[in-house]
Amino acid sequence: MQLTTLDIVFFVGFVLFVVGFAMFMSRKEKDSTDYFLAGRAATWPLIGFSLIAANISTEQFVGMSGAGAGNAGLAIASYEWIAAITLVCVAIFFLPRFLRAGIFTIPEYLEYRYNTTARLIMSFFLLLMFVFVTTVAVVYSGGVTLDTFFGKHIYPLVGEVTLVKGIWMIGVVAVVYTAFGGLKAVLWADLVQGSALILGGAVVTLFALRAIGGWGAAMQYPEVSGKMHMVLPATHPELPWTILVLGIWIPNFYYWGLNQYITQRTLAARTLREGQLGVIFAAALKLIIPFVIVIPGIIAPALFREKLHISMETAVDQAYPLLIRELIGEGWRGFVLAALAGAVISSLASMLNSASTIFTMDIYKRLLSPNASQKSLVWLGRVLTIIFMIVACTLAPTLADPRFGGVFKFIQEFQGLFSPGILAAFVFGFAVPRAPAMAGIAGMISCPIIYSAMKWPVGWILQSKYTFLTAETKAGEVFAGLGAAPGGFDRALGYLYDMAFLNRMGITFILVLLVMGVITAAAPLKQPVTMPVNQDFDMKPSRSVFTLGLAVVVVTLGLYVVFW
């Protein structure tokens, strides 16, 4: 498929406008507060659009749409709709605590609540996830989109577009304005890109529905109608209904309440009211996302079953890019591609900015150079942004290995190593004023040990005993084919081996809380910790936050009823 001149004009014009606009709006950064927190002057529309733009990337457009095309169907939308309820809770319960303390980073809060060691542990875990998991997945999924969209043809603008070339193109564009203007550049770019990605997603949905003959015609296909359910059987390998009890809440509360690259824009709020309204606005937008991402993915197999070469048991990362390539016409094609590029660039920019913020403020300034000048902190942040981009782009092509199971699963699976422990440290610290520092430290350190023990050692034991059991084979299927029933111990190991990773995260969270509870019971603090208070910050809450938040919750529950 040859790009037309109109496509190229849309694409190049959009990218150049976003980069130029972001750099112009952030041209006056002077100190670390300006660079890392946009001068603490963000208003609610900026915060809301930026939260969505930072979150929605080709990680979702490729990964979540692919999961919809595979065996998850509409149930994958739980990540979005549960997030809406989570955001309401964050606006009411989490955000006031963080803004009152006047923190730069989320790990900084742990230093005030526990000690410096707790702060450094969380900082280290976040850096591992940002640099080696989330940024890698985002640039890879962006590269997949460009590779699938352009194919291997020759174009006068960019030459032969391959996966690797697409990855580096995205990385370079993101790093240009992020390194220059910091969070303020990211926020202003997100305002444009957040609007474009929702509109671009809506365009793909409309074209997909038109191609299949409308919603009524789509529901005549078993590939579509069979996947329009939010609640799946308890035996489902990835999204059983049991994850709605606890498992799915763990990554959601961690991501929206404690993940630095998301919460950084809420920490930049001008006032508590602006921050809360921005978060509630983002919650409302989350309700729309599945209709512009998941629904097209569900329709794709009905339209392109032979071209996708899929088993209905798997996720299909090529589904969404194929919809664009086959269905979107001249001009619109360039706009949708620009929207997708903007989505991945905004997410990557946010992650790079937050990773550099954590290293600069939580590690360099806190431990290595407490008296560092404001100018040196800003320049270090810029250099680190470039370094982290190079690392992510270098590692990203490795995700083409099918053993990772698709980008969305890759991110969620590996975040499970750390996110339950981080969430437990905060929740326990909020709820138990006398919890000692060792409880928070032990909770975060024990998390990857507990989570890993239920995943990899169990697999090694079973695979050594049942040599025909592979990483892609379910233990239950193997046991069902055995002449003799396995023993009780093997059945228990098989249950752990087959467990959906979200349920594994839920169990890990509970066990970590038990560890923290035992430590607190054995050595509670004599006096509760006194948290700092930022006297210069306007902490007057939004009067409408409860009403608007309740409305979001009611609509979310209504969607579950409709698509039960």
**Residues 523/528/529/532 CA torsion (nearest 10 deg):** 170
User: What is the distance between the terminal CA atoms of the chain, rounded to a whole angstrom?
Assistant: 40
Q: Buried (b) or exposed (e) across 318-356, using 16+ Cβ within 10 A? A: bbbbbbbbebbeeebbbbbbbbbbbbbbbbbbbbbbbbb
Residues near 460 by beta carbon (within 8 Å), at least 6 away in sequence: none
DSSP category for residue 269: B
Which domains occur in the chain, in start order? 5-25+37-415+534-562 (1.20.1730.10)
Contact status, residue 519 vs residue 442, Cβ threshold 8 Å: yes
- What pLDDT is stored for residue 441 in this prediction? 96
Question: For position 482, what pLDDT does the model report?
Answer: 55
Alpha helices in 481-544 (DSSP H): 488-498, 501-522
- Closest by CA to 190, choosing from 32, 349, 326, is 349
Alpha-carbon gap, residue 254 to 120, rounded angstroms: 17
Residue 543 CB burial class (10 angstroms; 0-12, 13-18, ≥19):
exposed
Whole-number pLDDT of residue 155: 41
Give CA–CA dist 136/138, Å, rounded.
6
pLDDT computed for residue 424 by the predictor: 96
C-alpha to C-alpha distances, 170 to 131, 201, 396, nearest whole angstrom: 16, 19, 12
The Cα 149–Cα 337 span in angstroms is 8
Residue 478 pLDDT: 60
d(C-alpha 98, C-alpha 267), whole Å: 7
Instruction: Tell me which residue has tokens 């850096």.
Output: 127
pLDDT tens for the chain, residues 1 to 564: 566 777 778 778 888 888 888 778 777 666 667 666 666 778 898 888 888 877 777 667 777 887 787 777 888 888 899 999 999 999 999 999 999 988 888 999 999 999 999 999 999 999 988 888 888 888 887 777 677 666 554 344 444 456 677 777 777 887 877 777 777 777 777 778 777 878 888 888 898 898 888 888 888 888 788 888 888 787 776 777 887 877 788 888 998 999 887 888 888 888 999 999 999 999 999 999 888 888 888 888 888 765 555 444 444 667 777 788 788 877 777 788 777 777 777 778 878 888 888 988 888 888 888 888 888 888 888 898 889 889 988 888 887 776 666 666 677 678 888 999 999 999 999 999 999 999 999 999 999 999 988 877 776 676 676 766 665 566 666 666 554 556 667 777 777 777 777 788 889 999 999 999 999 999 999 999 888 888 888 888 888 899 999 999 999 999 999 888
Q: What pTM, to 2 d.p., does this model score? A: 0.81
Helices (H) and strands (E) in the chain, counts: 28, 0
